[in-house]
Structure 1
């Protein structure tokens, strides 16, 4: 069985109808489904069905009711089919890949620099050389002209002060 094709006069009438009633019909479709994109798809499907039946509609003043009935029936059919490819779950299928919070990192970095600035000059120099310049204990001792034991004990005391600093919320190793 072949579907009759609308004539150009029918197409012109249908186009004029869609232009005049489209926004109203879209509001109706949006009231039938919560997702705006689904509402647009629903309206498109209903208008396609209406276009195919356009030549069979005797009273074109009743087209609004026909399209609304088509919207409701199409939405009901979609609801009954319950698409298999969509499942609601409590957990996301993939873990969120949120990057590091750059603002929080900067806040921590600023707090750490303020805490280091409060250390005595000698401890501050040793911490900076050891952890910011990535020098070994031996290299730090040579750079400051002190013994390796002095570097170890001074850095240990400095890290203890940093751990106890109330402004810092991070763990210093």
Structure 2
């Protein structure tokens, strides 16, 4: 029995990682349909690049974040071109998870991606910079600003988020 076919290897990888990619996409978008669309887009691009990709999960994560940035920029342009912009804050459920997701959704796309990569994926500052295509200093400052925003938004109960730890002092 030889090597598995390209399709078999890809199918096995998708079975192992599709749910993980969806959760990341949901953290970024805050919307189920948008998350599904992003995952489908990433799976297609990963399949097309499959033969030249050594680390498909890392490739897919980078593709996911970049696709999210493109969608967020497109939405921002649409909002700016609309006559009326609804800036009312969405209703927040009392559940902590929903509250945290709501606060994450308020972050600008780059901050949201940085928080997701650093804390959800537990990437180092260096690895996060690689995924985002920026310097380590940018990751540190973006993380610090995002955590400050989350603390302001969520209150004292989330003071356990330590900016020094988050910005790589320990990693």
Q: Normalized against structure 1, the TM-score is what? A: 0.42
Higher helix share: 2
Question: Rg bigger for which structure?
Answer: 1
RCO higher in structure (CA 8 A, sep ≥6):
2
